[in-house]
Structure 1
Amino acid sequence: MFKRTLTNIGAGVALAAAGVLATGAAAYAHECFNPNRSDQGNAGASNSQAWFTVHVEEITEGMSEEDASCFLEAYASTGAPSSFTIHVKGVNGQDGVIAGNNPHPEKAGDGKGIDEIFAAHGADIGFAFESCGIPAPF
């Protein structure tokens, strides 16, 4: 249980830092999620040590209330998901990047199978920053 808590805390810290999901750090650009899994499936996956759910609201930590509200409203207008259940730990302690060796990078954000957050929704995140006049951290 302690190990799971540390895994979740570590993932949360990593995602809060990566919450901008596009800082340019390769490790964060490749966070993998399943865009077709149901909310119930995501909840079940979050009970494992390998998957962790992050909410888009975490991106707004440190923003003024006005900027956070604008960002969330602009992001929601894109129709992009409000949370992502990401793979944070692979088997035998490997990293959580499932699609990292995908020989078809054009499929990294196609909405089928496993996608990478930034490939799938980086434009939505960028739009929210830009439309609110908030300097994007990428």
Structure 2
Amino acid sequence: MVKVGAGVGLAAALTLGSGMAAYAHECYNANRSDKGNQGASNSQAWYTIVVADEVSAGLDAEDAECVLDAYYGAGGPATFTIHVKGANGQDGTIGEANPVEGKSSDGKGIDHVFDAYGGIIFGAYEACGVEFG
């Protein structure tokens, strides 16, 4: 039987994070450098999620290794530095109000984790026979 609840760590981190409402929109700066993300994580507005830590926290070691191998093999990044503090004047989001189709996953400026990498994330769990969420 496929484990129920596997992947909750990553899902929770990507959508809920530290309990701040803006995590539900999982906004990140797709073209900011690693050094820039490191600097941004020092603010209260951005938080870096280490994918391996989140996957490992929600799965046994064998399933976590399988999911991570599939995820990285498909090109998933090791970390996401996501926006956790609401943006003024935009209902608490950064890029949600953009009317341009495909803008939330174009690899430029503000993107959404699940729009850009959802297929890779869910595909990795599926490839390993582990249920996400």
Using structure 2 for the length normalisation, give the TM-score: 0.77
Residue 39 of structure 1 aligns with which residue?
Answer: 34
Verify: 1:104 aligned to 2:100, yes or no. yes
2:12 maps to: 18
The residue matched to 2:47 in structure 1 has which SS? Answer: strand
CA shift, 1:96, in A, is: 5.2
Instruction: Give the alignment partner of residue 122 of structure 2, picking from 117, 123, 126.
Output: 126
Deviation (angstroms), 1:72: 0.7
Distance change (3 Å), C-alpha of 1:68 and 1:119: same
Greater per-residue helix proportion: 1
Structure-1 separation of matches of 2:41 and 2:60 = 30
Match of 1:71 in 2: 67
Q: Tell me the distance in 1 between the aligned counterparts of 2:92 and 2:129.
A: 33
Q: 2:57: which partner in 1? A: 61
Residues 88, 97 of structure 1: 8 Å contact kept: no
Distance 1:65 1:79, change over 3 A: same
Q: Higher relative contact order at CA 8 Å, sep ≥6: structure 1 or structure 2? A: 2
Q: Hey, what's the Cα distance between the residues in 2 that align with 1:118 and 1:29?
A: 11
1:72-98 CA-to-partner distances (Å, cap 9, x unmatched) read 111000112110000100356x87521
Calculate the aligned-residue CA RMSD, in Å: 2.4
Identity, in percent, stands at 56
Does the CA contact (< 8 Å) of 1:75 and 1:125 recur in 2?
Answer: yes
What whole-Å deviation, never above 9, does each CA across 1:23-48 have from its counterpart, x for those lacking one?
Answer: xxxx6562100111111000000011
TM-score normalised over the length of structure 1: 0.75
Report how many aligned residue pairs link the two structures.
118
- Residue 46 (structure 2) aligns with: 51
Asked if the contact 2:14–2:24 (Cα under 8 Å) also holds between the matched residues in 1, the reply is no
